[in-house]
Amino acid sequence: MTVKLSKRLQRIADKVPSFSRLADIGSDHALLPAYLVQAGIVTWAIAGEVNPGPLAAAAKQVKESGLTGKIEVREGNGLEVLCSGEVDVISIAGMGGSLIASILEGGQDKLSSVNMLVLQPNVGEDQVRRWLDRHQWLLESEDILEEDGKIYEILTAVPAGSHAKNRSEMLEALYQVRKLGPDKEIGKERQLQMGPYLLQEAGEVWHRKWQGELDKLEMIREQLSLSDADASKLKAETLRKEIQDIREVLALCLQKDKP
């Protein structure tokens, strides 16, 4: 049975280097590792899943695809399904950024042989970027796409200390203060929030994502403004400044794209 992927999973698959050994954490139906093994992109894979239903679905997928022996379906929480040195690429997709960061934090001892992380948080992308930055993983690329009315970001990262000698310099330069227009600078915090590469590209889908985020923030601010409590007023004012700053960033990015 030939495996076909959704647009989101295909974009993730396209990030995995050839001849890799892959661990797909939270693999659900094991579609990603099954596709990559069938395509000859990965030589061997682990499909890790903690929940009984998806675990059974993954095992069924592997069997029906004729990939028994090339994909191991393992039950366990996060990176505990791995032994050190088994894989060189780890993918974690389809969960919140805080959970992805927690999985990486709890499994750091399994990352010594890993050359690439391919991460697709559904929300909380900034928390993933913060974890990577704290632990010396270089954010190498960011993709954004829309599928079925939902917007997804895909982040790839490589260990900063184990490759080219200038990798550490690239890590320092990644979030350096950037000029956006003559009077606007974007610091590290805003880049962690909005994505350093995505900010540079400032594509249509990225703009739509942040217009949607602004709508949510505006709704929260309006609700807070109905309260007479000092704490609510302070939070509303903080949100007003945040909304204004993000609007300025988006407006300047639009101007930057104009000829």
High-pLDDT (> 70) share of the chain, %: 95
- Of 141, 174, 207, the position where a domain reaches its end is 174
Q: Which two tokens stand for residue 160?
A: 């900063």
Residue (of 145, 176, 144, 143) closest to 157 by Cα position: 143
Tens digits of residue pLDDT in 204-220? 999 999 999 999 999 99
Cα distances (angstroms) measured from residue 141 to each of 55, 62, 231, 235: 30, 30, 39, 34
Spatial distance between the Cα atoms of 125 and 53, rounded to a whole number of angstroms: 27
124 and 199 fall within a common domain = no
168 and 189 fall within a common domain = no
In a domain, 22, yes or no: yes
Question: In this predicted structure, what is the pLDDT of residue 162?
Answer: 54
107 and 193 fall within a common domain = no
Say yes or no to pLDDT of 190 above 80. Answer: yes
Q: Which two tokens stand for residue 19?
A: 């001849």
What's the total number of domains in the chain? 2
**Taking phi first (over 0 means left), then psi (-120 to 50 degrees means alpha), and beta for anything else, what does residue 66 get?**
left
Range of 98's domain? 7-174
3-state secondary structure of 162: coil
Spatial distance between the Cα atoms of 130 and 103, rounded to a whole number of angstroms: 14
Spatial distance between the Cα atoms of 36 and 14, rounded to a whole number of angstroms: 9
High-pLDDT (> 90) share of the chain, %: 83
In a domain, 220, yes or no: yes
In a domain, 98, yes or no: yes
- Of 152, 174, 196, the position where a domain reaches its end is 174
Q: What's the count of helices (H) and strands (E) in the chain, helices before strands? A: 10, 9
Q: How far from the centroid of its chain's Cα atoms is residue 258's Cα? A: 29
155 and 60 fall within a common domain = yes
Say yes or no to pLDDT of 223 above 60. Answer: yes
- Percent of the chain that is helix, strand, coil (3-state, to 5): 50, 20, 30
In a domain, 44, yes or no: yes
Say yes or no to pLDDT of 258 above 50. Answer: no
- Indicate which CATH number applies to the domain containing 17: 3.40.50.150
Tens digits of residue pLDDT in 30-70? 999 999 999 999 999 999 999 999 999 999 999 999 999 99
120 and 82 fall within a common domain = yes
Spatial distance between the Cα atoms of 250 and 22, rounded to a whole number of angstroms: 37
In a domain, 56, yes or no: yes
Please compute the mean of the pLDDT values over residues 140-147 and round it to a whole number: 97
- Of 174, 202, 223, the position where a domain reaches its end is 174
Distance separating the N- and C-terminal Cα atoms of the chain:
49
Say yes or no to pLDDT of 163 above 80. Answer: no
3-state secondary structure of 46: strand
151 and 238 fall within a common domain = no
158 and 184 fall within a common domain = no
